[in-house]
Amino acid sequence: MQEPGTEPAAQPQYRVSVPTNTTLQEGISLTAAQQQVAEAGLQYPMLAKPVWADGREGSHALAVIATEAGLQQLVEGRAGGDFGLPVLLQQYVPHGGCLFKVGCLSG
């Protein structure tokens, strides 16, 4: 119950920004990937991340896709190591060395 004449305490405001992103599924062609990237509004450089982040081997892999040739290598399975589709493509955002990784659980 609020006392008469008192204002409720202001609630803090928080903001979490999520970079522009899209998911490339297995079997996508280069032309379709290029179109999907354009429709999502992504520009180079982009980050490619596995769609799973559950701790399995490779789940924390990261590839920088700096050019169209890099996107082609990714789509054709030539990105190196065990890295391949499906991936989350995310716009690279300069962060000044301060980066927070947030995970979500559902249940």
Tokens matching residue 88: 């989350």
Give the list of residues 6+ apart from residue 91 with CB closer than 8 angstroms, or none.
19, 20, 21, 42, 43, 46, 47
Predicted local confidence at residue 56, as pLDDT? 79
Kindly write down the DSSP assignment for every residue of 34-99, as one continuous string: HHHHHHHT--SSEEEEES--SSSTTTT--EEE-SHHHHHHHHTT-SSTT--SSEEEEE----TT--
pLDDT in tens, 45-96: 999 999 887 777 877 888 899 999 999 999 998 887 767 899 999 999 887 7
Predicted local confidence at residue 61, as pLDDT? 84
Query: Identity (one letter) of the amino acid at 35?
Result: Q
Predicted local confidence at residue 84, as pLDDT? 82
Q: What is the three-class DSSP state of 19?
A: coil
pLDDT in tens, 5-47: 677 777 888 877 788 999 999 999 999 999 999 999 999 999 9
In the predicted structure, residue 100 carries a pLDDT above the cut 80: no
Predicted local confidence at residue 60, as pLDDT? 80
How far is 49 from 40, CA to CA, in rounded Å? 16
